[in-house]
Amino acid sequence: MDNTKKPIFLMCPPDHFIYPDTYRKINSHMNRMRAVNQERACDQWQALAAALFRNGAEIKLLSPVYGLPDMVFTRNGALSIPSVDGEKQVILAAFKYEERRLERAHFFAWFQRHGYSIRYLPEHIVFEGNGEAIMFRNMLFTGYGSTRMTFQTVPFIAALLYGQKMGYIEVVPLRLVSEDFYHLDTCFMPILRSENHPDLIVYYPDAFDRYTISRINAIPDTIPIAVSKYDAYVFGCNFVVCNDAVIMPNGTVKLADTLRAHGVSVMEIEMSEFIECGGGGPFCLTLAI
């Protein structure tokens, strides 16, 4: 892992993490029978920000907007992509559901104000940012086939990356087959580690088809870690890697210990408000930029 670069995360405070009655249940985890407990949500969000900060990250803030509760899940707003000359660039998201579409303008404004070059996919191509496309070494894993992104998006991302000033990046599509695992980051997470430690790939097998599972198991020089159904449903895969530490939702039965057994420093935090009301965990709440 390149520890010389300080991790930077864009986060959006949960001031407006309140779902209006008209907001649909846009993923199967969202419990629309109960309201968000604002105080708990703020505490959990702050604990996450503090944990990242303590592990050496810098946090940038996106101002929350009334009526856009899912904006807290900044991971979906864009995908930061490398460039050979150090230029900051992102591919802007295009949300599938009406409920989230207005977020795009706010992400756009933030990236523009902060000097990023902003790339776009053609209109009508759904792309939910870093939640659906995860970079690992020179590979970009892209989820498709569940309820959000279809395979249609994949070649456009590949073409866009190919056209940019950067080294070679291989786009690896991973097919999702369960509606409960609607974004790649709900069921797949690579852990890039410092020298002398093998990289790890954490994933939930039942979220993928058989070919994809064999593809995951064949990622060179990695140890695949298959998580149990229980650990997957408490969003165990949705952790953030920050300077060799892993910050994950509490409540996994086995995953935290398995990672510790591999020498990973794991910190478990309470994320219930975001998981139960929004269907997203710590990774979703942080956008690596």
In order of 39, 40, 153, 234, 282, the CA distances from 44 in angstroms are: 9, 6, 33, 15, 10
CB neighbours (10 Å) of residue 151?
11
Q: Per CB under 6 A, does 26 bind ligand ARG?
A: yes
Q: Per CB under 6 A, does 279 bind ligand ARG?
A: yes
Give the shortest CB-100-to-ligand ARG separation in angstroms: 6
Name which position in 94, 225, 284, 287 contacts ligand ARG (CB under 6 A): 284
Nearer to ligand ARG, 2 or 178 (CB): 178
Within 59-78, the residues that bind ligand ARG by CB under 6 A are 70, 73, 75-76
String marking each residue 89-128 x if it binds ligand ARG according to CB under 6 A: -----------x----------------------------
CB 54 within 8 A of CB 242: no
Which residue is at the shortest CB distance from ligand ARG?
A: 131
Nearer to ligand ARG, 77 or 205 (CB): 77
CA gyration radius, the chain: 17
Helix runs in the chain, H state only: 38-54, 98-101, 103-113, 153-163, 210-217, 229-233, 255-261, 272-273
CB 198 within 8 A of CB 223: yes
Give the shortest CB-274-to-ligand ARG separation in angstroms: 8
115: exposed, middle or buried (C-beta count within 10 Å: 0-12, 13-18, 19+)? exposed
String marking each residue 220-259 x if it binds ligand ARG according to CB under 6 A: ----------------------------------------
DSSP strands (E only) in the chain? 8-11, 58-61, 78-81, 89-92, 117-119, 133-136, 139-144, 170-175, 188-191, 199-203, 222-226, 240-242, 245-249, 265-269, 287-288
Select the span of 43-51, 172-180, 245-253, 273-281 touching ligand ARG (CB under 6 A): 273-281
Name which position in 55, 278, 282, 287 contacts ligand ARG (CB under 6 A): 278
Q: Per CB under 6 A, does 186 bind ligand ARG?
A: yes
- Which tokens belong to 227? 């998580």
Residues taking part in catalysis: 183, 284
Q: Which residues bind ligand ARG (CB under 6 A)?
A: 26-27, 30, 70, 73, 75-76, 100, 131, 183, 185-186, 278-280, 284
